[in-house]
Amino acid sequence: MSKILELREKRAKAWEAAKAFLDSRRGADGLLSAEDVAAYEKMEADVVNLGKEIDRLERQQALDAELSKPVNDPIKDKPAASAGEEKTGRASAEYKRSFWNVMRSKMPGHEVLNALQVGTDSEGGYLVPDEFEHTLVEALEEQNLFRTLAHVIQTSSGDRKIPVVASKGTASWVDEEGAIPESDDSIGQVSIGAYKLGTMIKISEELLGDSVFDLESYISREFARRIGNKEEEAFFTGDGKGKPLGILAKTGGAEVGVTAAGAAAFTADELFDLFYSLKAPYRKSAVFLMNDTSVKALRKLKDSNGQYLWQPSLTAATPDTLMGRPVYTSSFMPAMEAGAKSVLFGDLSYYWVADRQGRSFRRLGELYAPTGQVGFLATQRVDGKLVLPEAVKVLQQKSGSAA
């Protein structure tokens, strides 16, 4: 039995035990004693921790499988290619080798400059070799939940214009020989541009000179963590000013499907109302999104038949479910508080993420020379926007203080 399947079964048993404990210890008023609350929360924490370990192992398994694949078919017929030069994707092995030599070296030589004609950066930096950019994108997907659910496109220059049907025409009953009324579709347009996101890492010269240090792996992981977190925050809550317009934006974001009766809680009935506030065609591919605190509250809710709404997954690489739809968590979803949009339900493929082609990566050799450090700068240009607001609904907490 695989480790992942073993942990999933262990988590399912722990959840069944937690539910049984919760049901057996509720008093006549439906409440738990302080001791029982502490015991239940410990059992629930075990379920959460097992889920996090399963997620880590599945990401590791997926990354191992992806990195074991060849990057691309060899390019054999390029004119003027050096005899015997190994090809890995679009960039030559010489280019990749020269790129990382530049990153470590203070003074790039003629060999490096000649090799770097494979890719150029008009602003003075070096474009990331294809192999390294692929690693960075994979790490971004691991760090950034939103990218795995949204629709990601590539743009080269200028704004991307997306035509959207704002309203549809309808048919009408007409009398014999009567005139058929006109009813045209209304077509709108959504524009996606590119906002600049950047970060810098400083590394000591001694560390760079250590041949044991895995520079590529360290930089890709650290850039992925920083850029991934900042991207995901904007995709959720961005205001569109110098950054993407988030899916929770008041204008241009998801529509409010349900307003909860409480400022710091929601009920099973309100989740059902949220589910059915979304049109049926969107529900087929919809997912739930909330933060860990909201999931914790969700685990205690039952339907009218006494069945718990939240169901843990027993199958590898599949998320937990609520009403048959996947449940995902993100720390960037708001907590349950007055006026907050604490639960999201919808088809996130209608949120478009636009990557401007070519991530830039440069070495700052002299800026931090007095302190014996070298800076590494990474930038990318990205935008995001919900192109069809009716495809995503949110549950909003009641405004004002909790009752």
> What's at 225, amino acid-wise?
R
Provide the token pair at 101: 């030599």
Residues 6+ apart with CB under 8 A from 286: 278, 325, 345, 346, 347
> Do residues 92 and 118 touch, judged by C-beta distance below 8 A?
yes
Please state, in angstroms and as integers, the Cα–Cα distance from residue 25 to each residue in 20, 135, 149, following that order: 9, 50, 39
Per-residue model confidence (pLDDT) at position 113: 47
Per-residue model confidence (pLDDT) at position 309: 94
Span 15-51, pLDDT tens digits: 899 888 888 888 777 778 888 888 988 998 899 888 8
Residue of 39, 43, 52 whose CA lies nearest to 8: 52
Mean pLDDT of 366-377: 87
> What's at 219, amino acid-wise?
I
Kindly tell me if the per-residue pLDDT of 63 is higher than 90: no
> What's at 165, amino acid-wise?
V
The CB-side HSE value for 199 (13 A sphere, CA atoms) comes to 14
Per-residue model confidence (pLDDT) at position 122: 39
Per-residue model confidence (pLDDT) at position 205: 82
Between 187 and 54, name the one with better pLDDT.
54
Per-residue model confidence (pLDDT) at position 119: 41
Q: pLDDT-derived band of residue 369, with 50, 70 and 90 as boundaries?
A: confident
Kindly tell me if the per-residue pLDDT of 69 is higher than 80: no
Angle CA(100)–CA(102)–CA(107) in degrees, nearest 5? 160
Q: pLDDT-derived band of residue 177, with 50, 70 and 90 as boundaries?
A: confident
This prediction's pTM: 0.74
Q: What share of the chain is helix, strand, coil (3-state, %, to 5)?
A: 40, 25, 40
Between 197 and 126, name the one with better pLDDT.
197
Top mean-pLDDT range of 124-138, 356-370, 387-401: 387-401
- β-bridge mates for residue 382, sequence order: 195, 355
Kindly tell me if the per-residue pLDDT of 107 is higher than 60: no
> Do residues 301 and 208 touch, judged by C-beta distance below 8 A?
no
Match 């850039």 to its residue by tokens: 223
Between 211 and 141, name the one with better pLDDT.
141
Least confident of 55-59, 102-106, 198-202, 219-223: 102-106
Kindly tell me if the per-residue pLDDT of 237 is higher than 90: yes
Residues 6+ apart with CB under 8 A from 188: 163, 164, 165, 166
Span 135-172, pLDDT tens digits: 677 677 666 789 999 999 888 777 777 777 666 667 87
Cβ neighbours around 351 below 10 Å, total: 27
Span 305-359, pLDDT tens digits: 889 999 998 887 789 999 999 999 999 999 999 999 999 999 999 999 998 876 7
- Torsion, Cα 135 138 142 143, to 10 degrees, reads 70
Provide the token pair at 335: 């907590």
Q: What is the mean pLDDT of the chain?
A: 81
Q: pLDDT-derived band of residue 111, with 50, 70 and 90 as boundaries?
A: low
Q: With pLDDT > 90 as the criterion, what percentage of the chain qualifies?
A: 37
